[in-house]
């Protein structure tokens, strides 16, 4: 079993660090790119995704003027251990609406209702909730009360209602992360480790996979919605 804790302001550092570690460990599941561990770019995305989450958690102190909330699931036997998290963004001017930005559950605690418990807690606060997932996960979220409403790049857009929210969603511009000195240094290191050809092949592999997922998601939604 587990307990659910909700944060509207900055969580303790112990919570932040565990959430960050989960992101690094499960970057394939959490990233929209779904980068595979076998891809030489994997470590670069581990850093990039980790820093994205860091910025959103940092924004919870109110300094960036954007609403960010966090729900974590804590292990019943070790209440200091985070076994799952949902980081989501309330929609401006629509007090009933929110959108999931990132979500993860420890592999050792999956299929135990952790994700459902966290999403139920979120929907209790924001009945009009949205999330985006890969096609394979659609039945999983449908079982939790979400329905397909559209497509967003390589992912299917789902909602607890039959339409998308109309309010503004404040999101951070993460482009500077991937243009940062740290990312360039990681890329240079990977280039030295794998070689130029392998890195170019890795980028092409990532792009092909992304294009394939995008086509799959679009075809799935068109078939599902009859559009």
pLDDT digits (tens, 9 = 90+) for 129-151: 999 999 999 999 999 999 999 99
Mean pLDDT of all residues in 188-197? 96
For residues 66 and 90, the answer to whether their CB atoms sit within 8 Å is no
pLDDT digits (tens, 9 = 90+) for 3-49: 999 999 999 999 999 999 999 999 999 999 999 999 999 999 999 99
CATH of the domain spanning 2-225, picked from 3.40.30.10, 3.40.605.10, 3.40.630.30, 1.10.1530.10: 3.40.630.30
pLDDT band per the 50, 70, 90 thresholds, residue 169? confident
Does 51 score more than 90 pLDDT? Answer: yes
Mean pLDDT of all residues in 73-80? 94
- Predicted confidence at residue 165, as pLDDT, reads 87
- Predicted confidence at residue 211, as pLDDT, reads 97
Say what the pTM is. 0.93
Does 220 score more than 90 pLDDT? Answer: yes
pLDDT band per the 50, 70, 90 thresholds, residue 168? confident
- Predicted confidence at residue 65, as pLDDT, reads 86
pLDDT digits (tens, 9 = 90+) for 79-96: 999 999 999 999 988 999
Domain ranges within the chain, ordered by starting residue = 2-225
- Predicted confidence at residue 227, as pLDDT, reads 57
| pLDDT over 70, % of the chain | 100
pLDDT band per the 50, 70, 90 thresholds, residue 207? very high
Q: What does the mean pLDDT of the chain come to?
A: 94
Does 191 score more than 80 pLDDT? Answer: yes
């Amino acid at each position: 079993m587990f307990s659910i804790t909700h944060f509207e302001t900055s969580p303790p550092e112990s919570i932040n660090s565990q959430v960050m570690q989960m992101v690094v460990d499960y970057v394939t599941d959490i990233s929209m790119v779904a980068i595979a561990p076998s891809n030489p770019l994997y470590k670069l995305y581990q850093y990039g995704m980790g820093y994205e989450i860091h910025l959103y958690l940092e924004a919870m102190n109110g300094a960036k003027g954007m609403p960010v909330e966090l729900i974590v699931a804590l292990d019943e036997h070790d209440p200091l251990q985070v076994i799952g998290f949902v980081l989501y963004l309330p929609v401006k001017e629509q007090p009933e609406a929110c959108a999931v930005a990132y979500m993860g559950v420890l592999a050792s605690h999956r299929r135990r209702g952790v994700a459902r418990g966290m999403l139920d807690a979120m929907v209790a606060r924001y009945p009009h909730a949205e999330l985006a997932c890969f096609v394979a996960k659609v039945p999983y979220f449908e079982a939790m009360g979400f329905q397909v409403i559209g497509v967003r790049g390589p992912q299917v857009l789902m909602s607890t209602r039959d339409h998308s929210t109309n309010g503004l969603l404040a999101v951070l511009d993460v482009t500077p992360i991937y243009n940062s000195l740290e990312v360039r240094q990681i890329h240079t290191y990977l280039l030295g480790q794998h070689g130029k050809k392998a890195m170019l092949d890795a980028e092409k592999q990532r792009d092909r996979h992304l294009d394939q997922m995008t086509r799959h998601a679009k075809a799935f939604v068109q078939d599902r919605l009859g559009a």
